[in-house]
Every structure is written in C-alpha cells, then in structure tokens.
Amino acid sequence: MYSGQCLCAKVRFHIEGNLEPIQVCHCSQCRRAQGGPFATNIPVDESCFTLVSGADSLTEFESSPGKRRVFCRTCGSPIYSRKDALPGVLRIRAVCSKAIFRPGRWRIFSTVLEPAGG
Ligand SMILES: [Zn+2]
Ligand SMILES: [Zn+2]
C-alpha cells in the first residue's frame, strides 16, 4: 500500500495494489497546473484509491471539457485528475511516499517536436 498527502496534510490518501510506471507529461496544461517543467502522474483504478481525510478540502478545476484537476483548496497541492471519457481512472499526481520513486518507474511523454538536427 502507498500513502500520500498534500502539502498542508489535510488531504491524505492510500493506494492499494501495484502501481503502473510514473507518466511524465510536459503538455502546456500539466506545466501550468504543476508550476514546473512537467507533471508526474500515475493512473490508478478508482477502487484502489481511498481518501483518508480532507474530502472537504478537495476542490476541482475543469481544465478542458470533461477533464477535472483536483487539488487541495488550502495549500494548492495537485492530488489527481480525472476524465469523463475514462470513468473509474484517477491520474494521481505522484506526491506519494518515496517508495514510488524507484528507478525504472518513469515513462516520458513528449509532445514537443525536436528541431531537425537538434
Ligand atoms: Zn493541503
Ligand atoms: Zn499533460
């Protein structure tokens, strides 16, 4: 089991089962939502996710039609996103315990075309 929390610790959660590799996404929405050059996401079946505390601290922003980014209203930590087109799947922001950050768990998604010869 993996556990995670937001920066202010109001939102706490557990994830059961094995995790897929971390997806590193640097699309413009993820960069802005994360405040950095990329976001780290892990798709998790909703049935494996347990919100331990902080349900009243969660708020969401629909960043594109049908896609909601859920974050802590107190500290702003991104918690997960979900898409109407993918019911039952949460894309957890990889803020969880250090156990998640093992070598080989990373998968880079690139939407940037490299210049020729560059
Ligand atoms: Zn918080
Ligand atoms: Zn993205």
Q: Mind listing the domains of the chain with CATH numbers?
A: 2-109 (2.170.150.70)
Distance CA(48)–CA(19), nearest Å, equals 10
pLDDT, one tens digit per residue, over 6-29 is 999 999 999 998 888 888 888 888
For 37-80, write each residue's pLDDT tens digit.
888 888 999 999 999 999 999 999 999 999 999 999 999 999 99
- Residue 99: burial class (beta carbons within 10 Å; 0-12, 13-18, 19+): exposed
pLDDT of residue 47: 95
Mean residue pLDDT of the chain comes to 84
> Separation of 117 CA from ligand 1 center, angstroms?
44
Distance 72 CA to ligand 1 centre (A): 5
pLDDT for residue 72: 95
Q: Count the residues in the chain.
A: 118
Confidence class of residue 101 from pLDDT cuts 50, 70 and 90?
A: low
Q: Both ends of the chain: CA-CA distance in Å? A: 42
Q: Could you tell me if 49 and 91 are in contact, meaning their C-beta atoms sit under 8 angstroms apart?
A: no
* Helix/strand/coil for 24: strand
Q: Please list all protein residues whose beta carbon sits less than 5 angstroms from ligand 1, which is an ion.
A: 6, 8, 10, 72, 74-75
> What is the pTM assigned to this prediction?
0.81
Q: Which ligand approaches the C-alpha of residue 72 most closely?
A: 1
